[in-house]
Amino acid sequence: MSRIFFVILAVVVFVGAVIGGRNFFLYDRNKVTTVGTVNIGGPFNLIDQTGKAVTEKDFAGKYMLIYFGYTFCPDVCPTSLSIMGEAIHMLHQKQQDKVVPIFITIDPERDTPEVMAAYVPNFYEKMVGLTGSMQNIKAAAKAFKVFYAKANEDDPDGNYTMDHGSTTYLMGPHGRYVTHFTHGTPATAIAAKLAEYL
Ligand code: NI
């Protein structure tokens, strides 16, 4: 190896460290979120499927399993929510009582409380469906670092879709982040993890 190679390498590392800071050295940022203090979640101000205004305080003392999506979703959301319901059903009743599965729409234009009311019980009888103003949904998604965006807006029938993150978050009884499950995690694995906490 020539000296020039090491000089270039040193410069690249230095510039990377300056620009990227800590993250330059942490190639797997998802892994990092499972250790230490994680800034995921926060207050929300939404409307449930019965039309009632709710905030995170309404779930104080309970674990929350939170998933963001939309009822018009052809595949990913129904799969994730089915797995969520399945996982909770695998727990004992006493454990089930300690956790609230919550589906938060990122498509409040179509997902009114009525639409949510017809949708969420398909996956778990006590699943909560939350919608709200565009602004409050945006704030909630931001707090959970959930990306979403309208897609196929030029669909001739107006049947747009939404691109969105597909992570399920487990929040603790004080509303703080506990862990998360990536899309495709089997129900048995989720149930086993939940059982460690509940
Ligand atoms: Ni979806």
Given the DSSP bridges, would you call strands 99-105 and 128-130 parallel, antiparallel or unpaired? Answer: parallel
Residue 131 within a domain: yes
CA of 106 to the centre of ligand 1 (A): 9
User: Percentage of the chain with pLDDT > 70?
Assistant: 81
CA of 44 to the centre of ligand 1 (A): 21
Residue 87 within a domain: yes
pLDDT band at 28 (very low <50, low <70, confident <90, very high): very low
Domain extent, residue 50, equals 45-197
CA of 87 to the centre of ligand 1 (A): 19
Block residue for tokens 């707090």: 143
The predicted structure's pLDDT at residue 155: 87
Q: Which residues surround ligand 1, an ion (CB under 5 A)?
A: 69, 73, 76-77
Query: Taking 80 as the threshold, does the pLDDT of residue 22 lie above it?
Result: no
CA of 131 to the centre of ligand 1 (A): 15
CA distance 69 to 78: 9
Residue 182 within a domain: yes
Window from 36-40, 53-57, 119-123, 188-192 with minimum mean pLDDT = 36-40
CA of 74 to the centre of ligand 1 (A): 7
CA distance 72 to 4: 57
Number of domains in the chain: 2
CA of 161 to the centre of ligand 1 (A): 9
Give the three-state DSSP class for 148.
strand
pLDDT band at 11 (very low <50, low <70, confident <90, very high): low
Same domain? For 6 and 92 the reply is: no
Query: Taking 70 as the threshold, does the pLDDT of residue 125 lie above it?
Result: yes
Contact 45, 137 (CB under 8 A): no
CA distance 65 to 193: 12
Given the DSSP bridges, would you call strands 148-151 and 177-181 parallel, antiparallel or unpaired? Answer: unpaired
Same domain? For 102 and 190 the reply is: yes
Block residue for tokens 């995921």: 40
| Total length of the chain | 198
The predicted structure's pLDDT at residue 1: 47
Nearest to 51 by CA among 126, 114, 134, 123: 114
The predicted structure's pLDDT at residue 153: 87
Given the DSSP bridges, would you call strands 45-47 and 53-55 parallel, antiparallel or unpaired? Answer: antiparallel
Same domain? For 116 and 178 the reply is: yes
Find the angle CA(75)-CA(81)-CA(83) to the nearest 5 degrees.
100
